Amino acid sequence: MILTVTLNPAIDVRYEISDFNIDKIFRAKSFKTPGGKGLNVSRVLNLLGNSVVATGFLGGSNGTWIKNSLQNLNINSSFIESASETRNCIAILGQGSQTEILEPGAEISEFELKKFIDHYKNLLLENEIICISGSLPKGISGETYKLLCELGKNKKVILDTSGTSLIEALQGNPFLIKPNQEELKAILQTPLDTQEKLIKGALTLRDKGAQNILLSLGKNGAIYIGDDIYKIDIPKIQVINPVGSGDSSVAGFAHGLKNNLPIEEILKYSMACGMSNAMSNETGFISLPVIEELMKKIIVKKIG
């Protein structure tokens, strides 16, 4: 099975408001999904036919709602209960634009964290691929991600987080990190306006401990730095909802890894899942026929 870790899950509430603007009142229907990055990864992995177990913290009535929703989706969950309520995250989708409002999340006590670490050690015994995603809840430092990576050092740990949580976790030697261009720019505090600068910048994260790097470049595809360096070119698509595309691309990568595919195929899966999510209204959702079509149009070139 593949283990997904979401320490700061959320109920993702989506509003589709085509003429959204500030300073106005809108009446809109809400769509809810179990969210936080790792739960989007879980849902896409499940749609790709993988067995997944989702872990992290859940609390209060929002926590119960997420647990029940995962059960309805046939996704195994094994969360630690927190005394503090799980958050809501809001996404407002306009025409080709999105506004996100992300709550900070539950406060996790030292006791709850210790309980989780013991639980995680047990879950590691049964899972080879570990996807750790998202922000950290209050009460948990970046050191925690470093520890989770270290504990999983004999496994393949995919870590998708940003800022200081990412920097601190690099010493734990995650198998893969997946920053986007903006996140890399924020970390390095330098303009990254050429492919050469992007590769050089990403390589500094490898020097800090990441084993492999998938640098996403939005509509310009991605650069992968592993044993070799690859540029991935993607076809133009009509974006409907980009929320969860990064998470879907993590799921695509983990799926390829799980099935021992060659790296070129893994990268194609990763991109196709991200794009399929962006082409759908739903967050953390993919369509298998769409993926099949997209895979034919993605070009993976070895550039170094």
Chain residues that interact with ligand TA6, rule: CB under 6 A:
8, 10, 12, 35-37, 40, 89, 102, 134-135, 243-244, 246-247, 283
Nearer to ligand TA6, 6 or 127 (CB): 6
Q: List beta partners, residue 102.
A: 89
Q: What is the dihedral of CA 190, 198, 158, 148, to 10 degrees?
A: -30
Nearer to ligand TA6, 116 or 230 (CB): 116
Tell me whether residue 247 is one of the annotated catalytic residues. Answer: yes
Query: Shortest distance, CB of residue 276 to ligand TA6, whole angstroms?
Result: 15
Query: Shortest distance, CB of residue 61 to ligand TA6, whole angstroms?
Result: 17
Residue number closest to ligand TA6, CB atom: 134
Query: Shortest distance, CB of residue 265 to ligand TA6, whole angstroms?
Result: 24
Q: Write phi, then psi, for 106 (nearest 5 degrees).
A: -65, 160
Nearer to ligand TA6, 243 or 286 (CB): 243
Q: Which long-range contacts (CB under 8 A, 24 or more apart) does 143-151 make?
A: 143/168, 144/7, 144/113, 145/169, 145/172, 146/170, 146/171, 146/172, 147/117, 147/172, 148/5, 148/120, 148/172, 149/173, 149/174, 151/117, 151/120, 151/121, 151/124
Residue of 12, 23, 233, 247 marked active site: 247
Which residue has 């927190």 as its token pair? 82
Query: Shortest distance, CB of residue 229 to ligand TA6, whole angstroms?
Result: 26
Query: What's the count of helices (H) and strands (E) in the chain, helices before strands?
Result: 10, 15
The two tokens of residue 188 are 């390095």
Nearer to ligand TA6, 178 or 231 (CB): 178
Catalytic residues: 247
